[in-house]
Chains A and B, each alone.
Chain A
Amino acid sequence: MSTTTFGGVPADEPTAATEPSYLTSENTIASWLFTRDHKRIALLFFASVTFFFFVGGAAATLMRLNLAAPEGLLQPAVYNRMFTMHGIIMVWFFLIPSIPTTFGNFFIPMMIGARDLAFPRVNLLSWYVFNLSGLVVLFSLIMGGADTGWTFYVPLSTVYANGYVLAAALAVFINGFSSIMTALNFVVTIHKMRAPGMTWMRLPLFVWGIYAVSVVMLTATPVLAMDTFLLAVERFIGIGLFDVRHGADAILWQHMFWFYSHPAVYIMILPSMGVASEIIPVYARRPIFGYAGMTIALMSIAILSFFVWAHHMFVAGISIYSGVFFSLMTFFVAVPSAIKVFNWTVSLHKGRISFDAPMLYALGFVLLFTLGGVTGLMLATLAVDVDLHGTYFVIAHFHYIMVGATVSAFFGALHYWWPKMTGRLYPEMWARSAAILMYVGFNLTFFPQFVLGYLGMPRRSYTYPPEWQSWNLLSSAGASILAIAYLLPLLYLGWSIFWGRKAGPNPWRASGLEWATPSPPPKHNFEETPVVALGPYSYDPENDTFIDQEGVLHAR
């Protein structure tokens, strides 16, 4: 049985490690700040992205407080800057880096049987560059922020906006370098450093998810880099390639921006899909349904994501034939996502299911992703998008995916791998309660926004007509519950570091290579390079046994 409730005894007793763990091997600050160990870098990133999550969350709190009543709370200029900074910080400083830089960094080498990533110094540099971009964005925020929306549409952002647009654009530009370095490291590592026997089709789906996201990052982020660079130049000197007064096309910015930013939203979801595919088999005690189909789906989503960008521009002034093409492509990219939802759901069939916190997060992920996905179909439909574009419907749609799905997956991964990373078990009942509370709070916050959207409430509005107040109030109330659900893990996970029960190497009885090491792992991961004999998820629900990737059978 795999439930490890507070007070219960884990399946494997903690064993004495033969070398000190990566946490305790060296203790100076310098050994952390100049580390090349991918596991320590993962924790450094974890600290950074968590910090920015709460900064972005604070902006969201102010926004929802303001929207609880039409009279509002904030000055319009302040509200406008809050929603812009909320978008910029959440997208580039939390959602894009979160899963790859924390769990990707920590577990990719371990899951493929390597001792570290291909380029450890580049990995550390990526963290420093990330923090540099973070300093620039904080500067922008503290000095008053930009008020252009995270999309920086011209000519508002180049000519008409007051505020710290240049700093915000520069922050995003620098942040791009961090993304690129991380992605490059993952692509090269997965290609070149797999342990003997670890073929592509034996890789865990989390590795595939990180691989897919890294390919997208490498292809899309340079376009963003050029966009933000040109924007910064134009803002700085007063003239540029997006300048309508000199014959430039105002819609060009939108094309170039969305060419990156649509793949960016898939950058935000692909790792979470990998996480869900990793967690569900463990707690259902059976193989994932359709492993090969899942890998094809991940790569198809990655590739197709580059062909749909103008679905953000159906009413922007593109030709109707462009609109038709991009709508068709958008429906195509929805197909692999739908396949994944079916496969996750059917991966519960004939399983032996337990409902630990990671599983609750993973199941919640599937449901919230599905709801976000079907509303995405509505937005992909040209005629309906004409009505819904630019309204709260779109906001609800993307928050269901980015917050409902991605953040759920982040928390799921955090709880799933917590024992491995820290050597401690978290208190299970607290964790399950937080997961359920999050789910309830999330739906209360964002479902009313669908209604507001089709009633016609425009997005990015600091006020609204009084007849829409009840929906807004409901949404704000839900947000307060959601805030508590996000704060709770800080408390009980923090508690568990000092007082949590010690974890064994494999408290969840999972089959991946990372679980064959002590918890927490030693600095060099493996005593000897593992030799891989099998694919992942060889769980047998009938006999409740499993075979790990090195081929060892683990009986009940």
Chain B
Amino acid sequence: MPADTELMPEMQYATLAQQGETAQFGMWVFLTQETIFFGALIFTYFLYRTTYPHEFAAAAKDAVLWCGTLNFVILVTSSLTMVLAINAAAQDVRPNRMVRWLIMTVVLGCLFLVVKGYEYYLDFQDKVVPVVAFEVKPGEGSAGVLFWVFYWVATGLHAIHLTIGIGLVLYMLLWRIRRGEISPAYYAPLEVVGIYWSFVDTVWLFLYPCIYLVGRS
């Protein structure tokens, strides 16, 4: 719904443009920090992978490649729908197109979680859950379990970040857009969510080869 009243910047900002720019800058700074967070985990992964290449290759045989790849496609597509939504926000006076693309994004995000959930179910069946349901596979030695610890921690953290992303998009849909606060004049909050969403996608870009492409070259 287009707003009749002019949107005012918060008290500490001189203009709405300054507020929008500052918010985006803040999100980039935040994501730099998140990159370092995941980076520390991926560093550990690479350290152990180069120390125990055979054990990791043996352990990774049980990673469900089709689930991982399907999720890869889902997430990349959701990044596309997010960008299309932001595009619509910049161009359209009426929010309909933007809302459609955002709903698509939420659907794709939830689909990722469903596929991931099913994959976790398969993982339980394959007995690759450390401590809870775990069997040492041939060639894995005692170090193979390190691969699986990494798998559960990394995908778990990623799923949490994705869920937060879905929450942010829902917040935009049900709160900000509904109140008419997103328009071509000011759509910075949506851009901020979009940047975050792309980040979640990028993390999966890095996790995917670490988990699913080990020893498959």
Interface string of B34-58 (1 = CB under 8 A from A): 1011111100100110011001000
Majority DSSP secondary structure for residues of B touching A: helix
Q: B26, B32, B44: which contacts A118 (Cβ < 8 A)? A: B26
Residues of A in contact with B (beta carbons under 8 Å apart): 109, 114-120, 180, 184, 187-188, 191-193, 218-219, 221-223, 225-227, 229-230, 233, 237-241, 243, 245-249, 252, 256, 524, 529
B44 touches A218 (CB 8 A): no
A256 touches B44 (CB 8 A): yes
Determine the residue in chain B with the shortest Cβ distance to A195: B14
Beyond A222-B36, A223-B40, A227-B40, is A188–B131 a contact (Cβ under 8 Å)? no
| Residues on A with beta carbons closer than 8 Å to the beta carbon of B22 | 118, 188, 192-193
B40 touches A226 (CB 8 A): yes
| Residues on B with beta carbons closer than 8 Å to the beta carbon of A247 | 48, 51-52, 55, 141-143, 146
Give, as a whole number of angstroms, the nearest-CB distance from B37 to chain A: 4
A252 touches B44 (CB 8 A): yes
| Residues on B with beta carbons closer than 8 Å to the beta carbon of A222 | 33-34, 36-37, 39-40
Within 8 A of A (CB), among B1-50: 10-14, 18, 21-22, 25-26, 29-30, 32-34, 36-41, 44, 47-48
Determine the residue in chain A with the shortest Cβ distance to B32: A218
A246 touches B146 (CB 8 A): yes
A222 CA / B12 CA spacing, docked (Å): 29
Give, as a whole number of angstroms, the nearest-CB distance from A190 to chain B: 11
Determine the residue in chain A with the shortest Cβ distance to B152: A233
Q: B21, B52, B131: which contacts A238 (Cβ < 8 A)? A: B131
B130 at the interface (CB under 8 A from A): yes
A148 CA / B150 CA spacing, docked (Å): 25
Give, as a whole number of angstroms, the nearest-CB distance from B181 to chain A: 16
Q: A117, A188, A221, A252: which contacts B33 (Cβ < 8 A)? A: A221
Determine the residue in chain A with the shortest Cβ distance to B129: A237
Chain B's interface size range is: 35 or more
B143 touches A246 (CB 8 A): yes
A225 CA / B153 CA spacing, docked (Å): 13
| Residues on B with beta carbons closer than 8 Å to the beta carbon of A238 | 131
B26 touches A119 (CB 8 A): yes
B85 at the interface (CB under 8 A from A): no
B30 touches A184 (CB 8 A): yes
Q: With A239-B131, A241-B149 given, can you name 7 additional A-B contacts, CB distance below 8 Å? A: A109-B12, A116-B12, A119-B26, A191-B25, A193-B18, A225-B37, A247-B143
Beyond A226-B37, A241-B150, is A114–B12 a contact (Cβ under 8 Å)? yes
Q: A117, A219, A249: which contacts B12 (Cβ < 8 A)? A: A117
Determine the residue in chain B with the shortest Cβ distance to A187: B29
B128 at the interface (CB under 8 A from A): no
B36 touches A219 (CB 8 A): yes
Q: B10, B13, B48, B132: which contacts A241 (Cβ < 8 A)? A: B48
B40 touches A233 (CB 8 A): no
The 4 A-B residue pairs whose C-beta atoms are closest, nearest first, are A222-B37, A247-B143, A116-B12, A226-B40
A219 touches B153 (CB 8 A): no
| Residues on B with beta carbons closer than 8 Å to the beta carbon of A191 | 25
Determine the residue in chain B with the shortest Cβ distance to A180: B33
B145 at the interface (CB under 8 A from A): yes
Give, as a whole number of angstroms, the nearest-CB distance from B68 to chain A: 21
A115 CA / B52 CA spacing, docked (Å): 55
| Residues on A with beta carbons closer than 8 Å to the beta carbon of B34 | 222
A372 CA / B123 CA spacing, docked (Å): 54
Give, as a whole number of angstroms, the nearest-CB distance from B203 to chain A: 13
